[in-house]
């Protein structure tokens, strides 16, 4: 799909992987809506993008808020063609800790709600808008890019909730791509490894260097621009569909 002139929405677009993707899409001529929480710098990022970009405050698991934001984007852009789901949260807790205390079910539920249900919520509503688009010469009406994680495959100690949520994103990719195939909508998931995200960058430099050393090649943390580059390629490459692509420098996470 040609990116120039299309309407795109990026969740979690106020920082990290989402911000880099929003900037990459805008640089190629897309009109971009950034969906993120009110406390984010979404308005600032949207203003920097220009080109009609705007910020919409929304929790991705909130059906009404997401629905309103996507309706606004579709009307403002003359249609919605690209959706990139980057919004997500992390959690770290053992199933049972050293004192015998079980995992807080509220934390598990919240992680699933944001990372898995939130992704599906945005995807299904965005896809509904995409069905209204006239197909291009290749029959495409839209493209959805989801974000999973290497933790979906190599979850570490304490990552039960996070890994489950991201494995769910991986697991639903193919069936949703099959669901939407006849409508001309592609669905692809990126599973990044260790990247320079705001959360990781709060770690001390020696800790970041130690993590980078575990990556076979290149032995460094991934850059948000590299995630964005793959997302842009997915949008432009019509044969990419129903797949989860690991973007991790061949890292396989150890237990801890």
Q: Tell me the catalytic residues.
A: 162
Backbone angles phi, psi at 85, to 5 degrees: -95, 105
Closest CA to 32 of 88, 89, 87, 70: 70
DSSP classification of residue 100: S
| Rounded-to-integer distance, Cα 13 and Cα 40, Å | 9
The counts of H helices and E strands in the chain are 9, 7
Backbone angles phi, psi at 35, to 5 degrees: -105, 125
Look up tokens 């249609």; give the residue: 79
| Residues found in the chain | 256
Closest CA to 52 of 72, 81, 82: 72
| Rounded-to-integer distance, Cα 143 and Cα 191, Å | 17
Q: Which helix (H) or strand (E) holds 156?
A: none
Backbone angles phi, psi at 99, to 5 degrees: -95, 5
Mapped onto helix, strand or coil, the DSSP state of residue 82 is strand
């Amino acid at each position: 799909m040609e990116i120039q002139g299309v309407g795109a929405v990026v969740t979690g677009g106020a920082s990290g992987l989402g911000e880099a993707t929003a900037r990459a899409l805008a640089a190629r001529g897309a009109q971009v809506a950034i969906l993120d929480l009110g406390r984010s710098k979404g308005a600032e990022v949207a203003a920097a993008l220009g080109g009609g970009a705007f910020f919409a405050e929304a929790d991705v698991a909130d059906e009404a808020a997401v629905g309103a934001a996507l309706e606004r984007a579709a009307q403002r852009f003359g249609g919605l063609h690209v959706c990139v789901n980057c919004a997500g949260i992390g959690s770290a807790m053992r199933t049972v800790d050293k004192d015998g205390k079980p995992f807080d079910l509220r934390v598990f539920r919240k992680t699933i709600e944001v990372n898995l249900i939130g992704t599906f919520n945005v995807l299904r509503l965005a896809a509904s808008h995409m069905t209204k688009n006239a197909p291009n010469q290749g029959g495409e009406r839209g493209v959805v890019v989801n974000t999973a994680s290497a933790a979906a495959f190599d979850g570490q100690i304490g990552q039960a909730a996070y890994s489950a949520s991201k494995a769910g994103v991986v697991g639903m990719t193919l069936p949703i791509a099959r669901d939407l195939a006849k409508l001309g909508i592609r669905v692809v998931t990126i599973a990044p490894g260790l990247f320079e995200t705001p959360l990781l960058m709060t770690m001390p430099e020696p800790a970041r260097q130690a993590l980078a050393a575990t990556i076979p090649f290149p032995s460094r943390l991934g850059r948000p621009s590299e995630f964005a580059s793959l997302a842009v390629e997915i949008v432009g490459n019509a044969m990419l569909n129903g797949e989860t692509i690991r973007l991790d420098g061949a890292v396989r996470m150890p237990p801890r």
